[in-house]
């Protein structure tokens, strides 16, 4: 991630990946459901995860690091949000998906935090009054299968008002859903071809890039990727 948190607002760039191109993609109307080798988390799993996360939580407020769709489609209401920088990880399309925005026949890719580099996002402060309930909602959204492709971790963030520690979700490199390293061209082709009952991976990418632009950030990796996906969809 090479964008910087700056004073004032950067004017959003003109994206090549547009709603008109996204509209060309048609997917199934119904949910294909989990795969034959996938096991859904149950209430007991979420209770255990919630207890483990809270046991390791630093004193004070519970902060959540939003680097992907939590930026533009939060799981819960937050009391405060701050631009934040995470060092040591970057956002990357490195997780297979075969449901929601893809199918088993045409798998797609979703974002996760991968080792190396840095990542700009938002630190979201959850309400103390509903903290445990809100944490449960976040865990149920981010960790659907077991074992999960995400690992909940307490991450040290930098903000303009000082450092803080927030809960974030990094890629589980031992998960079969971890893609390993993919070229930008391969990543673009997979994203352009994946559509599920909730929409397309290309739509997810479009929302991600556009909302980062609105925040005054430019993720150069994702900016190049949206242009490559646009070319794929336009048949260029």
Residue 175: C-alpha distances to residues 91, 100, 148 (Å) = 17, 19, 7
* 3-state secondary structure (DSSP) of residue 145: strand
CB within 8 Å of 181: residues ≥ 6 apart: none
Nearest to 201 by CA among 107, 129, 91: 107
User: Residue for token digits 């150069």?
Assistant: 220
CA atoms of 184 and 187, how far apart (whole Å): 5
Question: Annotated catalytic, 142?
Answer: yes
Radius of gyration of the chain (CA): 18
Q: Which of 38, 114, 142, 184 is catalytic?
A: 142
CA atoms of 231 and 62, how far apart (whole Å): 41
Rounded to the nearest 5 percent, the helix, strand and coil shares of the chain are: 30, 30, 40
* Three-state SS annotation for 69-96: HHHHCCCCCEEEEEEEEEEEEEEEEEEE
Catalytic positions, written as ranges: 142
């Amino acid at each position: 991630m090479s964008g910087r948190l700056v004073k004032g607002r950067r004017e959003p760039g003109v994206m090549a990946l547009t709603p008109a191109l996204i509209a060309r993609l048609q997917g199934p109307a119904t949910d294909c459901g989990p795969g034959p080798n996938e096991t859904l988390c149950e209430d007991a799993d979420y209770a255990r995860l919630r207890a483990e996360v809270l046991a390791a939580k630093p004193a004070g407020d519970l902060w959540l690091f939003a680097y992907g769709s939590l930026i533009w489609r939060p799981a819960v209401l937050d009391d405060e949000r701050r631009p934040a920088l995470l060092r040591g990880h970057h956002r990357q399309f490195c997780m297979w998906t075969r449901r929601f925005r893809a199918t088993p026949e045409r798998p797609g890719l979703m974002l996760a935090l991968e080792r190396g580099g840095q990542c700009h996002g938002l630190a979201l402060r959850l309400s103390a009054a509903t903290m445990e309930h809100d944490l449960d909602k976040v865990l149920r959204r981010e960790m659907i299968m077991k074992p999960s492709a995400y690992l909940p971790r307490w991450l040290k963030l930098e903000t303009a008002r000082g450092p803080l520690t927030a809960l974030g979700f990094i890629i589980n490199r031992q998960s079969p859903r971890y893609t390993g390293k993919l070229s930008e061209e391969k990543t673009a082709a997979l994203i352009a071809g994946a559509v599920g009952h909730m929409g397309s991976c290309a739509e997810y990418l479009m929302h991600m890039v556009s909302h980062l632009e609105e925040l005054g950030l430019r993720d150069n990796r994702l900016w190049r990727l949206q242009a490559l996906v646009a070319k794929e969809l336009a048949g260029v």
